[in-house]
Amino acid sequence: MDKYLLFTPGPVNVAENLRVAISKEDICHREADFDALLASIEQKLLSLFQIRRRGRYRAVVITGSGTAANEAMLSSVVGKGRILILSNGEFGERLHKTSLIHNDRTHLIEVPWGEPFNLLEVEAYLMRHKIDVVAMVHHETCSGMLNPLAQVGAMAKAQGAIFVVDGVSSVGAEMVDLEACNIAFCSSSSSKAIGSYPGLSFVIGRKKQFRKLKAHKANTTYLNLATFYDFLKARSQTPNTPAVPLFFALEQALTNILREGVSKRFATIRARAEQLRWGMRKLNLEFLIDEQDMCSVLTTVIVPPSVKVGDLRDRLREKSIIIYEGKGCFQGKVFQVGNIGEMSKFDIKFFLQTLREVLVTLQTEAADLVVPIRPAEPSPALITPLCGALASTAP
């Protein structure tokens, strides 16, 4: 096989019409052609988010991966205020690390990777401290957990704070209701559930909040959201040279989603996850977190006994299948199977069949090396506290 099947949470296999879109004619980003292209992307993003009062929201597109959009938000919206980061995994930690670079007054509530937040604790913290901005990851990709936007958004609003969300790995697969969840700004990228090539990201947010950004002293030139907003408003352009071919591809990816229908696309991705989870449960595999807490874009699976995750990954790659290994404190303990991008039912069947063959082979090989009778393995409930340390910290 000359192509890989990317069962990863981004990068993804792109649709054939994106390969055509990315090689369109050369245009100049200071001409009307580009203005129209960016305007079209922006309108399609508003549709993807199913915004009801479209006049109140705008979206800027940044040349740079999802991290660029996150850093643009964290460096542009806080000013001299106080920001509270909620972290329950790798990407929450990254938000915290980025905020520390730009904002002296960075607060943190941290729970172990893969665990839900205690919302009462969050609420109490917000009542005890004067917080201006609350930031949280929607889908914590390291564990697959979906965090509660509506509840945290309501708490932030009740305490007069704005709410910013890292939606990099959920937008395009899960509903992010900016209006109902009181979200001021949400970031995402081209190369995860939206299904395009890597290299672009965006921040969608309330016009009212975009306008307020000018009041803050700039912390960055390239990622300054206020500057992006100025160029968008004045000319439907970007401040610096954008990666135009990627804009063509993103536009096509959004067109594909809207043609299918946003709700239908979400349902398609969820159905794939269900097919994968059903198949993996049949192989006696166990998952890191409860299925009801999972996002629809990936499944985090406990590495079965006597299997090394590196070997599993290598053997699957030999069959053209790419999966992810767990990172940080999950390293060696879990693997992740994504189901976004172009992926057919046949691809999923092929994956499940191949996974079965590879696991049987690896376990047979291991049984030849060790005594085949082993004690009962602890259940995932006992394994779950894979990571320690929880705390909240103020600067």
Ligand X SMILES: *Cc1c(COP(=O)(O)O)cnc(C)c1O
Residue with smaller CB distance to ligand X, 175 or 307: 175
Q: Verify binding: residue 114, ligand X, rule CB under 6 A.
A: no
Check if the beta carbon of residue 324 is closer than 8 Å to that of residue 335: yes
Write the binding mask 181 to 200 for ligand X: x where contact by CB under 6 A, - elsewhere: --------x-----------
The Cα 34–Cα 48 span in angstroms is 21
Using the rule CB under 6 A, give the single segment among 66-74, 153-161, 266-274, 363-371 that binds ligand X: 66-74
Question: Which residue from 169, 224, 227, 237 is in contact with ligand X, where contact means CB under 6 A?
Answer: 169
Closest CA to 194 of 209, 178, 179, 174: 174
Residue with smaller CB distance to ligand X, 40 or 67: 67
Q: Two tokens at 344?
A: 């057919």
Question: Which residue from 40, 63, 67, 236 is in contact with ligand X, where contact means CB under 6 A?
Answer: 67
The Cα 148–Cα 183 span in angstroms is 12
Q: Two tokens at 363?
A: 């376990």
Q: Verify binding: residue 141, ligand X, rule CB under 6 A.
A: yes
Torsion sign across C-alpha atoms 204, 209, 210, 215: negative
The Cα 285–Cα 260 span in angstroms is 33
Residue with smaller CB distance to ligand X, 141 or 339: 141
DSSP codes, 121-181: HHHHHHHHS--SEEEEESEETTTTEEP-HHHHHHHHHHTT-EEEEE-TTTBTTB---TTTT
Question: Which residue from 66, 144, 195, 242 is in contact with ligand X, where contact means CB under 6 A?
Answer: 66
Question: Which residue from 137, 223, 232, 285 is in contact with ligand X, where contact means CB under 6 A?
Answer: 137
- The kind and range of the H/E element at 183 are strand 183-189
Alpha helices (H) along the chain: 16-21, 32-48, 66-76, 90-102, 119-128, 149-158, 207-212, 225-235, 244-260, 262-282, 309-318, 345-369, 380-383
- The Cβ of residue 323 has, within 10 Å, a number of other Cβ atoms equal to 21
Using the rule CB under 6 A, give the single segment among 38-46, 59-67, 212-220, 264-272 that binds ligand X: 59-67
Shortest Cβ contact with ligand X: which residue? Answer: 66
Q: How far is the CB of 189 from ligand X (least distance, A)?
A: 5
Q: How far is the CB of 67 from ligand X (least distance, A)?
A: 3
Write the binding mask 269 to 298 for ligand X: x where contact by CB under 6 A, - elsewhere: ------------------------------
With CB under 6 A as the rule, give the number of residues binding ligand X: 12
Q: Verify binding: residue 168, ligand X, rule CB under 6 A.
A: yes
Q: Verify binding: residue 106, ligand X, rule CB under 6 A.
A: no
Using the rule CB under 6 A, give the single segment among 26-34, 64-72, 224-232, 320-328 that binds ligand X: 64-72
Q: Verify binding: residue 166, ligand X, rule CB under 6 A.
A: yes
DSSP strand pairing (298-302 vs 391-393): unpaired
Q: Verify binding: residue 65, ligand X, rule CB under 6 A.
A: yes
Q: How far is the CB of 91 from ligand X (least distance, A)?
A: 4
Q: Verify binding: residue 348, ligand X, rule CB under 6 A.
A: no
Check if the beta carbon of residue 82 is closer than 8 Å to that of residue 131: yes
Residue with smaller CB distance to ligand X, 62 or 302: 62
Task: Please enumerate in sequence order all residues whose Cβ is within 8 A of that of 356, keeping only pairs 6 or more positions apart, or say none.
Answer: 283
Q: Is 336 annotated as a binding residue?
A: yes
Residue with smaller CB distance to ligand X, 169 or 252: 169
Q: By three-state DSSP, how is residue 336 classified?
A: strand
Q: By three-state DSSP, how is residue 256 classified?
A: helix
Using the rule CB under 6 A, give the single segment among 63-71, 108-116, 156-164, 300-308 that binds ligand X: 63-71
- Kindly list the residues in this chain that would bind ligand X in the complex (CB under 6 A): 10, 65-67, 70, 91, 137, 141, 166, 168-169, 189
- Residue numbers belonging to the annotated binding site for substrate: 336
